[in-house]
Amino acid sequence: MSETLILRGTLRGHSDQVTAIAVPIDGQARIVSSSRDKSVLVWNLDPLALSANGLVGEGESDSTALGKPFRRLTGHGHFVQDVVLSSDSMFALSCSWDGELRLWDLSTGATTRRFVGHNKDVLSVAFSFDNRQIVSASRDRTIKLWNTLGECKYTIQEADAHTDWVSCVRFSPSAIAPVIVSGSWDRTVKVWNLANCKLRYTLTGHNGYVNAVAVSPDGSLCASGGKDGVTLLWDLAEGKRLYSLDAGAIIHSLCFSPNRYWLCAATENSVKIWDLESKSIVQDLKPDQPPSKNQMLYCTSLNWSVDGNTLFTGYSDGTIRIIQVVAAKRVCHKVLAEGCNECQLDSHICLGSKDSKDCCVSGLRRLFGERAIYEEVVIDLQNSLCKQRLTCEAEKLVSFMEVREVKPDVIIYTALLQGYVLEGRLDEAAVLFERMALKGIKPDIHSYSVLISGYCKNDRISEALHLAKKMMKQGIKPNDVTFDILLNALSNHENPDEMKKIISEMRDGRKHVDEN
């Protein structure tokens, strides 16, 4: 069966941005999070609430339904920037803008070690695979290697070191040839031999500072991302760039799925999940609207559960949203004219009475919460959304269908095209029009007429004529609507003779088609 990702609920406990989330590798129902509120929170999760049978509907679950803060760890004097767990889940390691690392005993909540040595904010920390070594990265441009007693064994700060803030650092899981991977504001990613802390590779290609690096579960790949909004994939064994994935926004965090060939990115706009085999987006998860127009809500950190079925995402408002991978249900869709309260979402989409905007949007969102797969296209729903200029919701419908391998047809795309035109988003409409052809969906006369109409109404007559010529070359028979649109725009065109000629050619072409 196909899979999709759904929001299961939200954990609330931090009062500021969630900077990192650590998950146990032994499968315990627990996570640990760090925040700019200067604390580390240990969360106990409810495994029943997170199971398929214990599903709480979207928008209904809260921190008490899915998990509760078990212990708050305090002691850092500034933002806590990163946190990781030991392999036995008994200890947490954090780093802070106060320049220190702290090792915490999770059974007591006490600090067992303080690691002092950096001259500026510590931005990233990691445990080695065997928990015997610790690596940290700082704004002082150094990388330090520590033992668990809090002793600094080596500092990377020579000629090969980064020339700007070191923002992120990770160990590879490989026991044969272990390496350290670091990313920096100097726009480079560096790979270091763990045995001697000597530089192995300097990886270049980013056009902005690097915020995040991640190493694949098998240690063969590295992903990096940052200011330029592009994720670069690297072969760690050979130090070669493989390919890039465009996120379209600043990347704050990256992580690989432990059991699928997926890469996840926390960006300024959404959480993007790529299938690395096809290099396509599996899902683009956007947060709810922020409570205030002045507050920008975006994902700042993320991590997968060890079984790969739950994605924990930390946000700028201090919340942790829990997203799960579930099997998509097959749904038989029936559009009701009235009776929203009687609508059973397992088998219906309710548009509500009298084209109700709220009911229409609510129906779509609730359906997403029910993991629906679009086996039968709901054309009425798409048309209703677009006519009400709710193209954001219409885009979600199209994207959902595409990633679920249920191909939207020309009718669905044309409805979205019309929505863009109604909102005056002509450039986006033009991009969608070209995208249709790339996806093997041939625009029909209605598709052409919608976009031509949009161009004419916005005095972009030359573009309308160009599209009309293209339509004729494709052998598409013009109709009365197309003629009327162009005739109404005739008086506004800077070269009416040229336009008359094209209209005449269209009329002749149509006559020729009719005669045949």
- 451: closest CA among 438, 477, 470? 470
10-25 pLDDT tens trace: 999 999 999 999 999 9
Ordered structural domains, the chain, with CATH: 51-299 (2.130.10.10), 330-515 (1.25.40.10)
- Of the chain, the percentage scoring pLDDT greater than 90 comes to 50
pLDDT exceeds 60 at position 471: yes
DSSP 89: S
- Is it the case that residue 502 has pLDDT exceeding 80? no
Closest CA to 335 of 370, 312, 367: 367
pLDDT (mean) for 241-250: 96
Inter-residue contact 454 to 426 (CB < 8 Å): yes
- When mean pLDDT is compared over 11-25, 46-60, 424-438, 492-506, the highest value belongs to 11-25
Rg of the chain over CA atoms, in angstroms?
Answer: 27
Q: What confidence tens digit (pLDDT) does each residue in 319-376 have?
A: 999 999 876 543 333 332 233 333 333 333 333 333 444 444 455 445 544 444 443 4
Prediction pTM value: 0.65
Least confident of 92-96, 112-116, 420-424, 425-429: 420-424
Contacts of 118 (CB under 8 A, 6+ apart): 99, 100, 136, 138, 140, 142, 144
Burial class (CB in 10 A: 0-12, 13-18, 19+), 119: exposed
CA-closest candidate to residue 266, choices 319, 309, 322, 226: 226
Token pair, residue 35, equals 């925040």
Burial 47-85 (b: 16+ CB within 10 A, else e): eebbeeeebeebeebebebbbebeeebebbeebbbbbbb
Q: Are 21 and 301 in contact (CB under 8 A)?
A: yes
**Non-local CB neighbours of 139 within 8 Å, separated by 6+ positions:** 120, 121, 122, 123, 165, 166
- Percentage above 70 pLDDT, the chain: 73
Higher pLDDT, 403 or 253: 253
Mean pLDDT of the chain: 81
Which of the four pLDDT bands, split at 50, 70 and 90, describes residue 93?
A: very high
